[in-house]
Amino acid sequence: MARVKDKNKLHAIHEAALHLVVKTGFTSLKMAEVAREAGIATGTLYIYYPSKEDLVNMLYRNIKSEMVELFDAIVIDENNYKLTFREIWMRYFRFCMENPDKMLFVEQFHYSGIIEDEIIKSTNKAMAKIEDFLAYGQQSGWIVKGGLHLQKAFLHGAIHEWVKSFVAKRVKPGEETVENCFNMTWNGLHVAHL
């Protein structure tokens, strides 16, 4: 029997590729560098991924899956909209703070034209739970009406920008700061009933 394909290698490749691609973009991502950082030979990299495009597509799929899993454990409590919303927001915020590279990667490649349409679509579909929750919030008067994509963009856009600024400053925001950010988002979205 020959050696068996190594799970650890796969993981090392992902780590290396993510780290490197986020630093400099797709074109400057060097397969040789990925291999070196993953501790394998260049040729070995091509056993696992037949091309640079494939590598990046797979990375995208994996990271999106991870993001989806984030919300798996959340129990939607319709009687306590804000609490559930808060839980979602916090999980995503923390995920981005702990994995800024993954956040940047998805942001960078989502509109890049490099990720295959099929992958974009299927990963979007996996986010249905969140989408449904927002739609329910609109119908039941918790959050403002309007195209759902406006709300999603608002959520994403603000969180990503905050995380980017924390990461650039190499700062870990305190609880109060995070609360502040959450409040801006919630106040922006929710409908005040006087």
**What b/e sequence results for 17-30 when a residue is b if at least 16 CB atoms lie within 10 Å of its CB, and e otherwise?**
bbebbbeeeeeebe
Among 18, 22, 52, 88, binds DNA (CB under 7 A): 52
Q: Which of residues 124-163 bind a copy of itself (CB under 8 A)?
A: 144, 146-147, 149-151, 153-154, 156-162
Assigned token pair, 18: 């993510």
Burial of 75: CB neighbours in 10 Å, binned 0-12, 13-18, 19+: exposed
Contact between 114 and DNA by CB under 7 A: the answer reads no
3-class DSSP state of 190: strand
CB of 127 to DNA, least distance (A): 30
Partner whose footprint covers residue 153, from a copy of itself, DNA, none (CB < 5 to 8 Å by kind): a copy of itself
Residue 190 has φ and ψ, to the nearest 5°, of -85, 155
Residue with tokens 């993954």: 102
CB of 17 to a copy of itself, least distance (A): 16
Contact between 9 and DNA by CB under 7 A: the answer reads yes
Which among 137, 110, 134, 143 has a CA at the least distance from the CA of 124?
A: 110
Angstrom distance (rounded) from CA 37 to CA 19: 10
Which stretch in 46-54, 69-77, 85-93, 143-151 sits in contact with DNA by CB under 7 A? 46-54
Residues binding DNA (CB under 7 A): 1-6, 9, 28-32, 40-44, 46-48, 50-53
Q: Where do contacts with a copy of itself occur on this chain (CB under 8 A)?
A: 2, 23-28, 41, 43, 111, 113, 144, 146-147, 149-151, 153-154, 156-162, 164-165, 168-169, 177, 180-181, 183-185, 187-189, 192, 194
